[in-house]
């Protein structure tokens, strides 16, 4: 699964040139990709010719890669490993660049043109310097190191200072820090190279931080998909998905939805009882259960959904396998299951093992609406009313209503109400094609076998819209393409 970790604050930075088309990738090492402003497609750089860059074009490096970008009249940018930037449009002789993630070092010649380096917290005005920038993808803090020349640094509060040669300053949302001397050791470290950032996509991140983290994670992805489509409301969505392994016993799925004025994202991070096999699908295909006790099962998982303002967070732990047909909780009994080896649904005549979790909670903007804990250590009481705890007093004040408001179209609405009913969460789930048209019930009629089901899924997308009384009138709106789920084994 792709590794997506950073979406860091924009650092509109450097390109001090009269003509944006004067910029080009002069040299690079390792895997480096670029994307034209008019395209959603990333392409690998080829050694045959230098790649010209114009306003809106993007470049990204993989974890062990670097790239050197030449600007007008000899200025140069060196992009470090696991980094990504966008060349911004120019106006009135001013050039800039957005660094989404990672680190850069710039050698800027003295020109009449103005170069601005912008981050979420700082603006650096450049006229002939050697400097480096680093933006923390989770805190949006900016670190500026000036090796030669002078550099004007301004925060978002309007405060400005002139940074002197050999000095470092940190800029946070609270403003400018106190300049400090750059140590000799740091200078040598900078000359030797630039280390890779290791943040990851999570909750409570800005749009830029999410995109930056994702740009880094995606370099480690085992599976990756992306496309442009129309959602059920007629809005164009740029969709990116990847699956990666943050650790030997973990997998992570990340989904990014970029619309004109917003970013929505989802992640699922699972931790298993043992190191995962080389073929990830061997472990993932038994997540739904199996007639035999599996070799791999989840011990914990976390999911997150966000529009960069509102969040839905699930956490589960204490995962262990249980023969649900042989325990006392008959609500989990399984009569049939889908056998991926035969691509058929087959009856279950005996034991069936599923992963159950001792601890679970779900929160909307930090407010817990539902949770459970075990009666006693090692005693499984899955979903029974006596173990459920909630800020609303347990199951008695928690209700779920499911309906299909559009009749023949595949639009399912799930309404959860809490307490007296004033607080709620509503999930609207749609199956849509690439043009935003909802699927009808007849589109999936007679689809019973594995190959048929997979073939049918590949023609459609899943869209989920979440509204909640905790969101202040806002919504989380996510579109997922099932292809990556089939590739990785999450869908059998």
Assign 29 a pLDDT band (cuts: 50, 70, 90): confident
Would you state the pLDDT for residue 384? 40
Residue for token pair 């979406």? 7
Which whole number is the average pLDDT over 19-43?
77
Percent of the chain with pLDDT over 70: 74
Domain boundaries along the sequence of the chain: 20-192, 221-488
Would you state the pLDDT for residue 195? 40
Which whole number is the average pLDDT over 278-285?
78
The answer to whether the beta carbons of residues 17 and 23 sit under 8 Å apart is yes
Would you state the pLDDT for residue 214? 84
Q: What is the mean pLDDT of the chain?
A: 76
Which whole number is the average pLDDT over 162-175?
87
Assign 219 a pLDDT band (cuts: 50, 70, 90): confident
Which whole number is the average pLDDT over 383-395?
43
Which whole number is the average pLDDT over 187-207?
61
pLDDT at 4 over 50: no
Whole-structure pTM over 0.85, yes or no?
no
Assign 375 a pLDDT band (cuts: 50, 70, 90): low
* Order of all β-strands in the sheet with 32-35: 43-44, 32-35, 58-61, 84-87, 94-101, 114-118, 122-126, 151-155, 160-163
Which whole number is the average pLDDT over 174-199?
63
Beta bridge partners of 467: 426, 475
Backbone angles phi, psi at 396, to 5 degrees: -60, -30
Is the alpha carbon torsion for 281, 283, 288, 294 positive or negative?
A: positive
Tell me which CATH code domain 20-192 carries: 2.60.120.1440
Would you state the pLDDT for residue 20? 37
pLDDT at 446 over 70: no
């Amino acid at each position: 699964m792709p590794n997506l970790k950073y979406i860091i604050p924009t650092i509109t930075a450097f390109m001090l040139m009269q003509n944006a088309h004067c910029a080009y990738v002069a040299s690079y090492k390792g895997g480096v990709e670029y994307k034209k402003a008019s395209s959603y497609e990333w392409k690998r750089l080829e050694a045959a010719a230098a790649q010209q860059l114009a306003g809106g074009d993007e470049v990204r490096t993989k974890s062990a890669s670097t790239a050197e970008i030449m600007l007008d009249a000899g200025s140069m940018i060196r992009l470090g490993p696991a980094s990504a930037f966008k060349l911004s449009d120019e106006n009135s002789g001013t050039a800039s660049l957005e660094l989404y993630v990672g680190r850069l070092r710039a050698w800027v010649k003295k020109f009449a043109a103005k170069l601005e380096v912008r981050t979420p917290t700082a603006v650096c005005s450049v006229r002939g310097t050697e400097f480096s920038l680093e933006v923390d993808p989770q805190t949006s803090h900016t670190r500026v190191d000036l090796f030669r020349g002078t550099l004007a640094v301004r925060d978002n509060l309007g405060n400005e200072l002139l940074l002197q040669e050999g000095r470092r300053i940190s800029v946070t949302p609270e403003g400018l820090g106190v300049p400090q001397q750059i140590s000799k050791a740091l200078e040598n470290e900078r000359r030797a190279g630039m280390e890779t950032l290791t943040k990851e996509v999570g909750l409570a991140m800005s749009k830029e931080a999410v995109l930056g983290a994702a740009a880094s994670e995606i370099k480690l992805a085992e599976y990756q998909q992306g496309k442009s489509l129309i959602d059920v409301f007629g809005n164009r969505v740029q969709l990116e998905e990847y699956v990666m392994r943050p650790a030997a016993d973990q997998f992570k799925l990340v989904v990014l939805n970029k619309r004109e004025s917003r970013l929505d994202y989802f992640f699922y991070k699972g931790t298993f009882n043992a190191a995962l096999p080389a073929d990830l699908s061997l472990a993932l295909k038994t997540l739904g259960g199996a007639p035999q006790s599996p070799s791999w099962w989840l011990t914990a998982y976390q999911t997150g959904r966000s529009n960069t303002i509102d969040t839905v967070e699930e956490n589960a732990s204490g995962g262990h396998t249980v023969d649900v047909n042989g325990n006392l909780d008959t609500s989990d009994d399984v009569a049939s299951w889908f056998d991926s080896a035969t691509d058929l649904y087959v009856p279950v005549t005996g034991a069936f093992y599923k992963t159950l979790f001792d601890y679970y909670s779900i929160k909307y903007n930090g407010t817990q609406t539902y949770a459970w804990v075990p009666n006693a250590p090692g005693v499984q009481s899955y979903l029974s009313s006596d173990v459920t705890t909630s800020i609303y007093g347990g199951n008695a004040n928690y209700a779920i209503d499911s309906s299909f408001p559009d009749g023949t179209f595949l639009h399912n609405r799930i309404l959860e109400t809490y307490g007296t009913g004033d607080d709620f969460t509503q999930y609207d789930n749609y199956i849509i094609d690439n043009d935003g048209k909802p699927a009808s019930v007849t589109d999936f009629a007679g689809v019973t076998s594995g190959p048929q089901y997979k073939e049918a899924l590949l023609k459609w997308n899943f869209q989920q819209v979440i509204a909640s009384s905790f969101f202040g009138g806002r919504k989380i709106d996510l579109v997922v393409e099932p292809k990556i789920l089939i590739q990785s084994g999450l869908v059998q």
